[in-house]
Amino acid sequence: MTIKELGKEYPEPNEAKDTEEIINAVKKRLVRDYPPGKILRQFHAKMHACVKATFTVESNLPEKFQYGFLVPGKSYEAWIRYSNGSDKVAIDKKADLRGMAVKLLNVNGEFISNDTALPQSQDFLLVTYPTLMSATVSDFKKNIIALCGGKSSLILFALNPVNWAAIVRTLRSLKKHDNLFAEQYWSVSPYRLGKPDQAVKYSVIPTTKKISKPTDKNNSHFLRKVMQQNLESTTVTFDFMIQVQEDADKMPIENTCVEWKSEFIKVATISIAPQNFDTPERNSFGENLSYSPWHCLKEHQPLGGVNRARHAAYMEIAKFRLENNKQLNK
C-alpha cells in the first residue's frame, strides 16, 4: 500500500486521451445546439452579473501563506462573473448549481498560463457546492459524453447503477437561491500554495448583513434584478478563505468528490462597491471574459486530475467558442 504524500499528485493512466474525448464531445455539442456566431459556454451558460470588485489580502497574513498573489495588505482590482451552472439558459427559479468566477488583475509574477485578453490575471472558479459529481477524469468523461449526447445518452447513463452515485451528488448540488450575494462558494478542486507539500482549497463566504430578497420570482431573471438592487446603495463583501490539506488520504488531491474538513482560514476580503452592471456594454464584456484555473501564478498550480483535464479543455473550448463568435460577428 502506497502512503500518499501531502500536496502530491497521482495521475491516472489515459488522462490525455480522456481529455481529448471530452473536448471533442463538447465541441460537437456546441455546434449542434447553438446558431453560428452565438455559441455560449458549455457550462455556466447564463450570466447573472459581471461586477467590478476589490480583492484585499489580509495585512497580518501568516508567513507560511505568503506566496504569489497573497502579499500582505496588497489590493487588486477584480472582475467577478456570477452564473447558473447549467449548460442551458434557464429561468432563475429552477434549482441549479451557481458559479462565482473571480479574476484578479495585474498580478505580479510568473504565470503558468496567461489570459491573452487580460494578461497577468489570476483566476478562481467557485461553485455553490463543495464537491463535484465526478471523482476522476475518466468518470468526468463518461458524464460529459452522456450530457453532450442528448436525451437518449442521458437515459442510458441514468439506467446504469454504476452512475447512480454521481447522479445523487448532482441532484444534491442543485438548489434554489434568492440572491447570489448571500451564498458560500467552493473551489472544489485543490491548488498548490507555494511549497510542493502545501495544498489548499479555496472558499468564499458572504459577510454582508443586509441582502435583498427577490420580490418577483416569476421574473426569469430575478437573480440579476435582486443583485442590481443590492448594488444601488450597498457594498457587498465576502471573506476569501483557504483550507489547508492536513491528511493526504482523508483530504485527497485526486478525488473531487471528497469534501475537505479542515479549518477555513481567512486570507483576503472581496468588496463589491455600488455600481450599475446591467448594461449592454458590461454584459458583452462579461460574456467574452475567459476564466480558467490555469490562469494562475506558478505558486498556485492547480492540482489533481480534474484540474489537469481543465488545462487543455478550458483553453481549447474557450478558443473555439470565442473565435467562432468573433469571425461570424464581424
pLDDT digits (tens, 9 = 90+) for 277-304: 999 999 999 988 888 899 999 999 999 9
Does residue 105 or residue 326 have the better pLDDT?
A: 105
pLDDT at 330 over 50: no
Per-residue confidence band for 20, with pLDDT thresholds at 50, 70 and 90: confident
Q: Which fold is adopted by the domain 15-323?
A: Catalase HpII,  Chain A, domain 1 (2.40.180)
pLDDT of residue 2: 64
What rounded mean pLDDT belongs to the chain?
Answer: 88
**Which of the pair, 237 or 88, is modelled with greater confidence?**
237
pLDDT at 166: 78
Report the alpha-carbon distance of residue 325 to residue 48 in Å, rounded.
20
For residue 43, pLDDT beyond 60: no
The answer, yes or no, to whether residue 82 has pLDDT greater than 80, is yes
